[in-house]
Structure 1
Amino acid sequence: MTYSKARRRPPIHMIDIEADRLTDLALAAEEQNPPVSRLLLDEIERAKIHGASRIASDVVTMRSTVRFVDAATGREHSYELVYPNEADIAAGRISIMTPVGAGLIGLREGQSILWPDRDGRERELKIVSVRQAAQTC
């Protein structure tokens, strides 16, 4: 996959517990899915890490629902970002271990990112809105 270093990626934010779990997940997937594993590890490394109570509500976190536009097609998509075992694209749940899922984590409403798709082509994804999942005890 190629990524244009000419355009800086926007700042991102992650929840500490999620960053730890995602690091473990990406490391475990290095052999089966090296490109996405590397993309996700790079994002975790550059993220500003916060406790869950300190993360802004407009940040894409695990289990949040994110609406975004693919600038190449102009199509708007809405997905809940989930762990691989919960993924079901037909039900609107996208895995963090897909190129798009790894690209969405940590972004805020209004931010855009150039991100490689499954074929290695860069696409601009622009976050329209973020809705956080209801908190469960």
Structure 2
Amino acid sequence: MERRDIYITGFDLNRLTELLGVWQTFKGSKSTSIYLEGLSEELDRAHIVAPKDIPPDVVTMNSRVRLSDASKEEDLIYTLVFPRDADAEAGKISILAPIGTAILGYKVGDIIEWPVPLEIRKVKIEEVLYQPEAAGDFHL
């Protein structure tokens, strides 16, 4: 699996670091810890930029994205959210879900792979439908 550069805002980094700190304090379930460890690894390798400088085609927190899944020949539309806001039926996926951690910081055109039981899942970021920073919504 190729690991491309990823970009996140300092604002997202602070909030996600706080989420990791809470987890370390309370030591959640083993399955949750695997996802948090993955998130921590992604944050460690990310390029940090100011919210006003993030390119508009990069997936940030609260971005709404259209992904294509070639293996299922379907498009998926998700909003990347914090765990408390996750709602699968509404298309809101948690940053702690494998696909959530996988797409954070990537940009339109990138193909992302991550392991799931029995296979490697692969999606392409087709479009960022909404990005808070590009819309001037720096508080989200």
- TM-score normalised to structure 2 length: 0.84
Partner deviation per Cα, 1:77-113 (whole Å, 9 max, x = no partner): 0011111111111112111111011111101000011
Identity, in percent, stands at 35
- Runs of 4+ residues over 6 Å off in structure 1: none
Once the two structures are superposed, residues 18-46 of structure 1 have per-residue CA deviations (whole angstroms, 9 ceiling, x without a partner) of 11211221343353211111111111111
Match of 1:124 in 2: 122
Displacement of 1:136? 6.1
The structure-2 alpha-carbon separation of the partners of 1:64 and 1:52, relative to structure 1 and needing over 3 Å to count, comes to same
CA contact (8 A) 2:51 2:138 kept: no
Mapped partners of 2:45, 2:86: distance in 1? 25
| Structural mapping, 1:54-93, within 5 Å | 54-93=53-92
Cα distance in 2 for partners of 1:60, 1:12 equals 9
Distance 1:11 1:115 in 2: 16
Q: Which residue of 2 aligns with 1:115?
A: 114
- Give, in angstroms, the shift of residue 120 of structure 1: 6.6
Per-residue displacement from partner, 1:63-88 (whole Å, max 9, x unpaired)? 11011112332221001111111111
Calculate the aligned-residue CA RMSD, in Å: 1.8
Distance 2:37 2:118 in 1: 13
| Alignment: residue pair count | 130
Aligned to 2:7: 13
The equivalent of 2:28 in structure 1 is: 31
More helix by share: 2
Separation in structure 1 between the aligned mates of residue 120 and residue 19 of structure 2, nearest angstrom: 24
Residue 56 of structure 1: how far off its partner (Å):
0.5
Structure 1, unaligned runs of 5 or more? 1-6
With the length of structure 1 as denominator, give the TM-score of the two structures. Answer: 0.86
Structure 2 gaps of 5+ residues are: none
